Structure 1
Amino acid sequence: MENLDKTDLEILKQLQANSNITTKEIAAKLFLTVTPVYERIKRLEREGYITKYVALLDKKKLNLGMTVFCNIRLKEHARNIGSNFVKDIVALPEIIECYNIAGDYDFMLKILVADMTSYQDFVMNKLSTIENIGNTQSIFVMGEIKHSTELSF
């Protein structure tokens, strides 16, 4: 973050809040002209501060109203076994996030499905086919209190 000044940070905040905001709108908010704002955004993209632009979707409207966190403990921890597990997990579209964690479990998955029946089908027909899973623990989200995609800096 050492290469970023106050203007860069404000541009990032504006883009986080609304990735559809135009360069002209950002320039107006920052009391700048369009060209330097455009050049700064391109530099932030080149330097990897901005990795992609996305649209956030309403998961309930898309019939993905159940969020489950699933903790997984592997039977073995050899490098090739872990790599194969990661490759298999990445291929499952129901898993929207996967973290390698420390503690009682090795991985934490965030899974979106329609309902409990869909989750049961997912576990029985997809997750259970992945080799080397020793133990799982499912945690069902009853309500989402806070969900943000904006980073604080």
Structure 2
Amino acid sequence: MDHAMKIDTADAQILNELQANSRITNRELAQRVGISPSPTLERVKKLEREGVIEKYVTLVNPKAVGFGTFTFVQVTLMRHGQQSILSFIDSVNAMEEVMECYHVTGTADFVLKVTTRDIEAYETFVVQKLTEIPGVQQLHTMVILSTIKHKTQLPIQPTEESK
């Protein structure tokens, strides 16, 4: 989606409710938003078609399934041409440990959020995977000691034109 869709009050309420609980029934969603179920469902389908709602996911507690080490890794490439960047992106996309990847400005070219079971697994990831990517010049790792704030919900408000 290249442009922002105009969001009215009902759509904003729908999106905020679904972000809080995507398993809510259409009837309950309609009740919370204050419109009948049929128009609510039509609005949800339109938000899906327009790409506003990309997918529905389950958030898993990482520690409950054995993932205890999280890091941010700043990656600097030797070359900054399109082919070098695309090659790096392809490599990173194939690595299951990389949860997020951002192309950034500043002293690094990319910032990765990486999760592994423990620090030994992170070391293996760096040695066997990350430093093996052609063109990687430098890594700076920041181990996450604790998470102060982590949210997945966007604070959606109606657009000015749609209020």
Q: TM-score range by the shorter chain?
A: over 0.9
Q: TM-score, structure 2 length as denominator? A: 0.91
2:101 to 98, 102, 109: 98
In the alignment, what sits opposite 1:107? Answer: 110
In the alignment, what sits opposite 1:133? Answer: 136
In the alignment, what sits opposite 1:7? Answer: 10
Spell out structure 1 runs of 4+ moving beyond 2 A: none
In the alignment, what sits opposite 1:27? Answer: 30
Unaligned runs of 5+ in 1: none
For residue 32 of structure 1, report the CA deviation from its aligned partner: 1.8
In the alignment, what sits opposite 1:67? Answer: 70
**Map of 1:70-85 to 2, 5 A cutoff?**
70-85=73-88
In the alignment, what sits opposite 2:20? Answer: 17
Q: Aligned residues, how many?
A: 153
In the alignment, what sits opposite 2:126? Answer: 123
Q: TM-score, structure 1 length as denominator? A: 0.97
Unaligned runs of 5+ in 2: 157-163
CA-to-partner distance for each residue in 1:35-72, whole Å, 9 max, x for gaps? 00000000011111101000000100111111100000
State the superposition RMSD in angstroms: 0.9
Corresponding residue SS for 2:63: coil
Higher relative CO (CA 8 A, sep ≥ 6), structure 1 or 2?
2
Corresponding residue SS for 1:92: coil
For residue 117 of structure 1, report the CA deviation from its aligned partner: 0.4
For residue 152 of structure 1, report the CA deviation from its aligned partner: 1.2
Corresponding residue SS for 2:80: coil
Corresponding residue SS for 2:146: coil
CA-to-partner distance for each residue in 1:53-101, whole Å, 9 max, x for gaps? 0000010011111110000000111111111010000000000000000
CA-to-partner distance for each residue in 1:13-50, whole Å, 9 max, x for gaps? 00000010111101111222110000000001111110
Percent of residue pairs identical = 36
